[in-house]
Structure 1
Amino acid sequence: MNQPTRTTPKSPRTNPSGVPLSVWLTEPLAGCCPLCGNPIGAACANRLPLGLARQIIEAFTAPGDLVYVPEAGNATCLIAAVTTGRRVLGYARTHHDADLAYATLHHQAAQVASLALLRRGHPGAHSITADHHHGSARLAIAAPHAFTTHAELAALTDACAQALKPDGVLVMTARQSTGQDTAAYLVAHARASGLVYLQHIVAAEATAADGHLTPAVAPRVRHRQHCVCHHTQPVPGRHNVIHNDLFAFTKP
């Protein structure tokens, strides 16, 4: 009886452009917006679940490293950074956003909140080059929203590039939505900021067992009247997005 031919898998797996492709398993986005639920679960304020934010930080940094978060959102990335022993510099666009992020951070991680520095401003409005943290971050995490403009994306990637030290990494996220946060736009803007495309990570919201992936289901959230959150309820018969695309870039 002939023995089956054993093939050697290629490592790392790459997509046609030659960029390494990895698959992570992660938790689903949960919650809606701060008007509808707990801010830590606010998918539209920051597109990363807390567990995925921790995965990114632990994959690209070591304890004590500085993480730069140009848009603090609902403080998910701030909490993930300080609870894993990293320092973090975050920016909030308005006083309201800053107050929400500050309150959530101190409620969820009061004992290590001092590792976080939160400032008010947004990419393009503040000058990171005048900051003593300029060029000292090991990692920058950006989660632009569907209605981010090209000018805002350019300012966002420029601010992240300026904040990173050489060999530092920027991770940008996309969630298969329409707008300017599609893969082509993110890659183009990052390259225009002088960064090099490093890796594509598919963060699938699923569990693995017996060789199969089972989608993880986020709890349903009832939207309040006049809610403008983009985290809509599943529509019967339509494709439900259950993954984030993470695009990693490095600073030469």
Structure 2
Amino acid sequence: MWLAAADTESATTCRAGCCHPVSGPLARHLVAACTRLGETVVHLGASDHQLVSAALTAGCLPVAVFTDVARAGVSWSCLARTHPDYDLEVTDLRVTEPGDDACVLADLAGSAGLVVAELTCQQPVGHATGRPDSEAEPETVAEVFDVARAAGLVKPGGHLVVVTGLHRQDGVVDPVPEIIARVREAGLVYLQHIIALRHPARGERIDPGLARRALAAIEELPECAGLPASARVHADLLLFTAPGATESTERAGSEG
């Protein structure tokens, strides 16, 4: 288990308000466990700057793919305030339409030491078929998590990490088994399932006051009704590697 309580409050990544972006502590865990100096780190479905910042601090080359130009702009502003100009020169933020990232990712095929994909409750797992239907209502368009495309970005010995959790879709849905099966079909090797705890902890115990306030906030999300409380106090991290593992794979396994 990794402690991954957010340093500050951040905007949620789904309309229901139950999915949260990769926090600063979680980003640092991921980069430390899964990368080596100078490797490329790709963040798919990015909504803030945390993973990019952690990658820069570790001497890696970050690429973040956003589907919201406003969030990309805010992320760049945050990076400009906290990193020197030479870091910004190697920072690559890209913006694409939901489900239409093939072109912006083409040059990254087989090059990333770490790919982090955030799978929200509104994303089915499958293969993208191009742009969403332009005639569909915006709130009905689902951005498909293209497993094969994400796996294809990972270099031999590199890692893919899928960040997910229980979803509410006409009942409680656990996407973990399907994700593992699909990523294996794409040619990657499943390593382990890591729990990322979103609650602050003191020593080995979760702060009870903070836990009560967090659970009360969860109960105010009607679209998440029916989910067990544990579903929103932690995220599920699924760690995979591409054949041709290096010592970074061993390091990632020992961090879990």
Q: Tell me the TM-score normalised to structure 2 length.
A: 0.68
Instruction: Please say if residues 46 and 73 of structure 1, whose CA atoms lie closer than 8 Å, have aligned partners that are also in contact.
Output: no
Corresponding residue number in structure 2 for 1:143: 118
SS at match of 1:115: coil
Q: Which runs of 4+ in 1 moved over 6 A?
A: 218-221
Higher share of residues assigned helix: 2
User: Superposition pairs for residues 62-141 of structure 1, below 5 Å?
Assistant: 62-111=36-85, 112-121=87-96, 124-127=100-103, 130-131=106-107, 133-141=108-116
C-alpha deviation, 1:219, in angstroms: 11
Question: Is the alpha carbon distance of 1:239 and 1:48 closer, same or farther for their aligned partners in structure 2, counting shifts above 3 Å?
Answer: same
Gaps of 5+ in 2: 129-142, 221-227, 244-256
Instruction: Please say if residues 46 and 143 of structure 1, whose CA atoms lie closer than 8 Å, have aligned partners that are also in contact.
Output: no
Instruction: Please say if residues 125 and 179 of structure 2, whose CA atoms lie closer than 8 Å, have aligned partners that are also in contact.
Output: no
Q: Return 133-142 or 156-165, whichever deviates more.
A: 156-165
C-alpha deviation, 1:141, in angstroms: 0.5
1:191-225 deviation per Cα after TM superposition (whole angstroms, max 9, x unaligned) = 2322221111112235363xx4224838979xxxx
C-alpha deviation, 1:250, in angstroms: 1.0
1:71-118 deviation per Cα after TM superposition (whole angstroms, max 9, x unaligned) = 221122112211222111111124334323322322333442223111
Corresponding residue number in structure 1 for 2:179: 186
Question: Is the alpha carbon distance of 1:129 and 1:84 closer, same or farther for their aligned partners in structure 2, counting shifts above 3 Å?
Answer: closer
C-alpha deviation, 1:134, in angstroms: 2.1
What amino acid is aligned across from residue 102 of structure 1 in structure 2? W
Corresponding residue number in structure 1 for 2:237: 246
Kindly, what percent of the aligned residue pairs are identical?
25
Question: Is the alpha carbon distance of 1:181 and 1:118 closer, same or farther for their aligned partners in structure 2, counting shifts above 3 Å?
Answer: farther
Corresponding residue number in structure 2 for 1:198: 191
Gaps of 5+ in 1: 1-22, 35-42, 222-230
Instruction: Please say if residues 125 and 147 of structure 2, whose CA atoms lie closer than 8 Å, have aligned partners that are also in contact.
Output: no
Question: Is the alpha carbon distance of 1:242 and 1:87 closer, same or farther for their aligned partners in structure 2, counting shifts above 3 Å?
Answer: same
Question: Is the alpha carbon distance of 1:155 and 1:24 closer, same or farther for their aligned partners in structure 2, counting shifts above 3 Å?
Answer: closer
Corresponding residue number in structure 1 for 2:165: 175
Distance across 2 between alignment mates of 1:220 and 1:80: 29
Do residues 213 (structure 1) and 213 (structure 2) align?
Answer: no
Corresponding residue number in structure 2 for 1:235: 219
SS at match of 1:71: strand
| CA RMSD after TM alignment | 3.3
Instruction: Please say if residues 174 and 181 of structure 1, whose CA atoms lie closer than 8 Å, have aligned partners that are also in contact.
Output: no
User: Superposition pairs for residues 35-46 of structure 1, below 5 Å?
Assistant: none
Distance across 1 between alignment mates of 2:201 and 2:19: 25
